[in-house]
A and B are shown apart, each in its own frame.
Chain A
Amino acid sequence: MSASALLPVPVLLPLGVATFLLVFAHSLPSRLSTVVAILTATIGGLICAFLAHAALDGPVLHWFGGWTPASSGRPGVVLGISFLADPASAAVAAFAALLFAAALLFTWSYFDEALSHFEILMLLFLAGITGFCLTHDLFNLFVWFELMSVAAFSLTAYPLGKSSLEGAFNFTITNAFGSYMMLAGVGLIYARTGTLDFTQMGRVVAAAGSDPVLSGGFCLIAAALLTKAAIVPFHMWLADAHAVAPSPVSVIFSGIMVSVALFALAKLVAQVFIRDAEVMALVRILLLWLGAATALVGGAMAFAQRHLKRLLAFSTIAHLGIMLIGIAAVTPTGFGGFVLYLFGHGLIKATLFMIAGIVLAVCASGDEIGLYGKGRSIWPAGVVMAIAGLLLGGLPVGLLHNATESLASRSPTTAVVITLATALTGAAVLRAGARIFFGCSGAPGVEITAPTARQHEKNNRGLALMLTPCVALLAVAVIPGWLVMPFLGTAGARLIDPFGAGGPPMPMPPFSVVTFAPIAMTLVLVLFALLRERPTRPLARKLFRLELLPFRGMQFLHSGLVGDYVAWMLIGVAALAGFLTR
């Protein structure tokens, strides 16, 4: 089969398997459906990897229904929907399949009931993410966005606990508001350009230049994608949803779902709006600032949490901010760094959420202060968590480190922001791990005021089975960066211009203070957290109260009330619109 014929298979295969499983859902044993789902994800991933390799020479195109641009008989009118695989898109889709296979392996005998609905929802989720990466049509992008969202809503509420339901409700309302904004944006762009295909749209935008309708449409679509990618001020739903979803689902959320929204934003900006001066100014300036703000807010909030999954959720927000800084550059090296960061962060965060799932299963709580020392019996998980935390905090090994260096080398300000955010999140994870698994800790700091609850996940799997996917993902995460630099150079260039020539291999970032600053700062923060003593003297107590104040303010803003979230999202839309009409 040619590459073009293989292109729709990674989407059609999970859809077909999911619907087939639904027909026989009542009579299928649960283990069989898990095995089938893992196989489907693996096959889809292998096909995407093959396509990524084939796309290095030129993009792979597939026109659905046979409606190629020539078949309309009119120049400039594209009737059909197309899938276009450039190296980056196919690689991201393959990465999604890898994470799904790992998460499904982690769910082996996770659920009590015999019906295979969980696997059906996960396969539909995978099909949505794959289609989202590969599509070249704006409304098709919206359809896969919706499929991703609806599957995610259902999976978040799965445990049926009180918190899960409310977290799922907040998630659904905020993201549904986002998708209606996206639909309005699609309508506006269709009104101005008369087409829904990216290439054709890019040509029309290049000819038309800046236009209020185009800017308005971009503003709305960007607001929707930034909501899914949890950028400040659209970010508040993520902590609620990730903290209460079942651990395998949180793995997918943090590992790929939120980053792929940024990936789509990057694609849209590069392939459609690159010649629209106003939109590019918005991207280069405002999105850079929003990314920096997100990185710092996420890092600070992560350090101030005590519930393990909520901590990891805020650390995801921080890293998404760093990724947005990479996108705001709109250069081939910036995009290459972003894709590498996506892979590195996704692998490590997936590992950490699986460890959190292990802790929830064995110790029946996710609260790092309540679990002080209780994880000693599962110390191998603690070792894995320590390694993952060090990698997250900037250990100079592996993919994430090279990506961080590459993104930070843009300018001194971005270097400072990225170093700070990386250190805060890495230190938070290491502190939590030290408390839970090794029983060493100082007096609790600001995290004592964070929200938490007892939670429990089913535990009847062996520790070795649960740790296997974690170790496998970490092994991929420590691959040296120079192995993938040639691929990334072409991937970044082709993401901006799919039909152009490939690019040179991405340059390895030079040795500088940025190489060691994050890990040094991480270790400093961890030692500070683990060695502090309770404030007894009046001056120390005053300082502690002063330290609590900004964190109390931020905790208050992240209130858990959906009305607040929507109000802040509107402020974000107003910020985007205000920048464009200044």
Chain B
Amino acid sequence: MTVTWRLGLFAISLAVLVPALWHVAMALPAFGAPTEMYGAAVNAIIPAARHITNMVAAVNFDVRGFDTLGEECILVAAVTGTCVLLRGARGEDLTAEAGHLPDRPHVERSDAVVLVCRIGATVLLLFGVYMALHGTATPGGGFQGGVIAASSLMLIYLGEGYSPWRHVMHSWFLGALEGGGAFIFVAAAAIPLMLGYAVLQNILPYGQPKDLFAGGLMVVANFAVGLSVAGSFGQLMLEFMEETRSPEDDPIPDEED
């Protein structure tokens, strides 16, 4: 089917869907109307029940923590799939040669770039860890902090170059980080079950509000997610960077047609 025919089908669907959408939009509660009972109940109950101040983190790691466990495993599945799909064709041997396109000039890295990247990477890593650990008190949490910490790895590459970066980054370490973080989360969910409570029930002491370790089991879950996300995104960066190696190094496996 050509694109014109498809656009014809699209137009037919729109002719039916646009009035339906308008109908639904008119019937939705007005924008800005008072919140649903579910959210209002969470806002009212959680600060006293769990001694924390970030309601979104409470929903993510306590009230609906099981969803977050599933979501963490989705990330693990996607990154595992990515690694399999990229490594499968390329093989796993370590190489120190950066990729080089034949007609691009090779520019030396300037000292300013190296300095800024070194300072920036350190600051960013610390900031990521800070974000992750304070998830129960201020906006942030494991996911956000983990991604920031992973991006500091990119700054290291920018500042140091491919060879030293590749010697420090080991795929097995990042994989262990990723799997280990997710496993700690699953264990945090399973241990209350083995002790006779419900899965992911908050059995640790809650601490003081606004404190770093407030929230009980949420702190453990937050930490686990931070580890795992940092490992996952580091793994992603590593695999994509490996793809920039010289094309003649990539063997294509025997396959059909």
Contact = CB atoms under 8 A, between A and B. Distances in A.
Quick check: do A and B touch in the complex, using CB within 8 A? yes
Chain B contact residues, majority secondary structure: helix
B19 A581 contact: yes
A581 B201 CA distance: 45
Nearest to A80: B63
Contacts, number: 240
Contacts of B70: 128, 131, 140, 143-144, 146-147
Interface centre among A16, A64, A454 (most CB of B within 10 A): A64
Interface string A544-564: 000000000000110101011
Interface in B58-103: 62-67, 69-71, 73-74, 76-78, 80-85, 88-89
B108 interface: no
29 contacts: A5-B196, A12-B189, A18-B73, A19-B76, A22-B176, A22-B182, A25-B172, A65-B62, A65-B66, A65-B200, A77-B37, A77-B41, A79-B38, A81-B66, A115-B84, A121-B80, A128-B70, A144-B70, A146-B70, A150-B77, A160-B253, A161-B256, A188-B24, A192-B28, A196-B38, A213-B28, A563-B3, A564-B1, A567-B9
Interface stretch (B10-18, B110-118, B238-246): B10-18
Interface centre among B9, B24, B82, B200 (most CB of A within 10 A): B24
Nearest to B202: A65
B209 interface: no
Interface stretch (A102-110, A268-276, A481-489, A572-580): A572-580
B175 A22 contact: yes
B65 A64 contact: yes
Contacts of A216: 20-21, 23-24
Contacts of B12: 571, 574
B45 interface: yes
A140 B74 CA distance: 13
Contacts of A510: none
A195 interface: yes
9 closest Cβ pairs, A-B complex: A154-B81, A22-B179, A194-B36, A23-B179, A143-B70, A216-B24, A574-B13, A574-B16, A19-B183
Interface string B163-205: 0000000011001101110110011011001001111111000
Contacts of B82: 154
Interface string A197-232: 000000000000001110110010000000000000
A67 interface: yes
Interface residues of B, number: 73
Contacts of B16: 574-575, 577-578, 581
A63 interface: yes
B77 A573 contact: no
B126 interface: no
Interface size band for A: 35 or more
B237 interface: no
Interface in A1-49: 5, 8-9, 12, 15-16, 18-26
Contacts of B248: none
Given A64-B66, A76-B37, A563-B3, A12 B190 contact: yes
Interface string B23-50: 1101111000000111001100100000
A163 B256 CA distance: 9
A453 interface: yes
B76 A12 contact: no
Given A216-B24, A577-B16, A581-B23, A121 B81 contact: yes
